[in-house]
A and B are shown apart, each in its own frame.
Chain A
Amino acid sequence: MAGTRRRAALTRFRRRYARQRAGLYGAAILLVVVLAALLTPLLTDPSGMDVTKATGARMAPPSMDFPLGTDESGRSVLLMLLWGARVSLLIGFMSALLSMVIGTVFGIAAGHFRGWVAAVLMRVTDWFLVLPALVLAMVLAAILGGGPSTIIVAIGVTSWASTARLIRAQTLAVEARPYIERSRALGAGHWHVMTRHVLPNVAPLVLANTTLMVASAIVTESTLAFLGAGSGQVSWGTMLRGSYDWGAATSGAWWYVLPPGLCIIAVVLAFTLCGRALETVLNPRLGGAS
């Protein structure tokens, strides 16, 4: 019975999403990029990323062997883009996940509880909401030292507040419904209400929000890398930093400067389009009348 209902809901969702043209484009781009990132280890040889094993000339323009030219050590830019996608996406997903978990916990708790608990939670959320996230992330990255996990933490910890706000509003709406009252009367505890009733109801919104969050996390990662707080692995952000460090722009090596930036734009745009489409489908009021 519940299964049928869920399946029906899924079909409805799919049909509604299919009407979001931009969202479809976004999803298509994401599908391609994620597939490429997943297949890279199977299709390419990671030794091409080792500078001592690089075969190309330094900063060579595109050719048959190197469709997107080479970097300052003679590595294929295309190969680096593929491997870099893995790191960029990983950092994007992981930090969005971290941010989502913190945001959801804070949001649901702030919406569920009353009194000083809610007040304190909201105060902290508001605090994180207004703080300049990039500046805080830079401080965190500088203090915690390099590495992908540092970057994930720095981005995750600084970007959850808006999720929390959104989830709180939704939680308040859900908890106002009569069946929650009934469930309480039947002796359901805080935990039960939050995990069994509130969470499933806010989950779609969380999903939409997380999608948007991945987008900004990828941009933030590249900015941190550029400003010197890199993950130490080849990502699109560190590639851009490398092209800057090795003077690719002034020496005219557009094949090293443009592709990583365009990849970031494409993927971030794709995530944003998907997120907006999801928002519209799941919560028509939010996306306006579109």
Chain B
Amino acid sequence: MLTSPQQVRDDTEEGGARRAMARYALVKLGGTLLSIGLVIVATFFLFRLIPGDPTIAYTRDVPVTPEQLALLRRQMGLDRPLGAQFLDFVVRTLRLDLGTSYEYRRPVAELIGERVGPTLLLVGTGLAVAVGLGMWQGTRAAWHHGGRFDRLSTGTALTLWSVPTFWLGLLLLMVLAAGVGPIPGLFPTRGMEDVDAPGGPLYLLHVAHHLVLPCLTLVAVVYAQYLLVMRSSLLEEIGQDYVTTARAKGLRDDDVRRRHAVPNALLPTVTLVFMQIGFVVGGAVSVEFVYSWPGLGLLFVEAIRGPDYAVMQGTFMLVCVAVIVMNTLADVVYHVLDPRVRSA
């Protein structure tokens, strides 16, 4: 979704800044915990909606006697009332016990642990590049508002934003990894590393080489929103009196932009970066699948195909909680940084 940068600003009362800050932090913390609680509740009930008996799913391909099945039901707590099951689920989730995968016969938490790194690498790099690219182009587009660069960059960004991520990924894979006609396959066709990955610092380059296409795909599809927000918030700043004044004072155009307009326009964009992490994570799911990138998104797609409900449930919760925590952090950072909000 393309959203406008308007963001909640929780009002704090007048009074000691520190007291206000503490109160603010407390409110935020409470809100976050509530959101996480909501995720846990929603997960429990969502996955109870699945028709069919989970024990049958669990014992697929394995012959079991009715007694074993009853035992399993008892072990999985399915013979207890819903309330007790829910309580049990909450307690286990808080202890990071996310159940066992049917496919891998291993604890879900462990599987997720293995996959977090690659996803962080992909999403982190992609986000950094996308935000950098978006902000740079957004700034330039706004400053030369209506000019050729503005039209070209905004047009390109909007077009790329309209492209289905997986499709772009497949095309890039076919052209730049497999090679078409005279274009040689410059990049690997799969994964994060090959069997003969070099050691030491060269390993980083090896991984970087594998990262190029997945990252490019992700960036192409998500950077538009940063560009647009940066552009529109800078346009707003440009319309403000102080910019006009600064320009009238004879300050160099560049300085006005760098010292005054951009820092002020930055905040909504930064906020958006965190608010839209969910969107980027969604994009990462397709990208990881197309490029066999061994991250959480791939685990999730595999789980849906399995279906491996325990893994689906665990990945879903983890991604939601991570996104919620990131948003809270963003809010707090925003609060600390923005003098207007702090002094309110």
Binding site for B on A (CB under 8 A): 22, 122-124, 126-127, 129-136, 138-140, 142-143, 159, 162, 165-166, 169, 212-213, 215-216, 219, 222-223, 226-229, 237, 240, 244, 249-250, 257, 261, 264-266, 268-269, 272-273, 286-290
Contacts and interface: CB of A to CB of B under 8 A. Distances in A.
A140 B46 CA distance: 8
A82 B46 CA distance: 36
A125 to B, nearest CB: 10
Contact of B279 (A122, A132, A166): A132
Given A222-B167, A244-B170, A287-B232, A131 B304 contact: no
A222 B38 CA distance: 29
B4 interface: yes
B143 interface: no
27 contacts: A123-B35, A130-B275, A130-B277, A131-B320, A131-B324, A134-B279, A135-B281, A139-B46, A166-B6, A212-B1, A216-B2, A222-B166, A223-B282, A223-B286, A226-B164, A226-B166, A227-B286, A227-B289, A244-B170, A249-B170, A264-B163, A264-B167, A287-B232, A288-B142, A289-B145, A289-B235, A290-B145
B176 interface: no
Contacts of B238: 289
Nearest to A270: B162
Interface of B: 1-4, 6, 8, 31, 34-35, 38-39, 46-47, 49-50, 142, 145-146, 155, 158-159, 161-167, 170-171, 174, 178, 231-233, 235-236, 238-239, 275, 277-279, 281-283, 285-286, 289, 300-301, 304-305, 307, 312, 316, 319-320, 323-324, 327
Pairs A-B, 9 closest by C-beta atoms: A134-B282, A288-B235, A268-B162, A132-B278, A288-B232, A269-B162, A261-B167, A132-B281, A222-B164
B286 to A, nearest CB: 6
Contacts of B278: 130-133, 135
A269 B164 CA distance: 12
A126 B35 contact: yes
Given A165-B6, A213-B1, A288-B236, A133 B231 contact: no
Given A265-B163, A272-B161, 8 more contacts: A126-B8, A130-B35, A130-B277, A131-B278, A133-B278, A138-B304, A139-B312, A249-B174
A143 B46 contact: yes
A125 B162 CA distance: 25
A286 B4 contact: yes
A132 B159 contact: no
A219 B224 CA distance: 15
Contacts of A131: 39, 278, 320, 323-324
Nearest to B146: A290
Nearest to B47: A143
Given A133-B282, A135-B285, A213-B1, A123 B31 contact: yes
B1 A264 contact: no
Contacts of B235: 288-290
A289 to B, nearest CB: 5
Nearest to B281: A132
A138 B38 contact: no
B164 A240 contact: yes
B304 A227 contact: yes
B162 A264 contact: yes
A130 B327 contact: yes
A135 B47 contact: no
A260 B35 CA distance: 39
A244 to B, nearest CB: 7
B316 A129 contact: no
Given A133-B278, A134-B285, A143 B162 contact: no
**Residue in A129, A134, A229, A272 with the greatest tally of chain B CB atoms within 10 Å:** A134
A263 B233 CA distance: 31
Contact of A226 (B142, B286, B327): B286
Contacts of A226: 164, 166-167, 286
Contacts of A165: 3, 6
B324 A135 contact: no
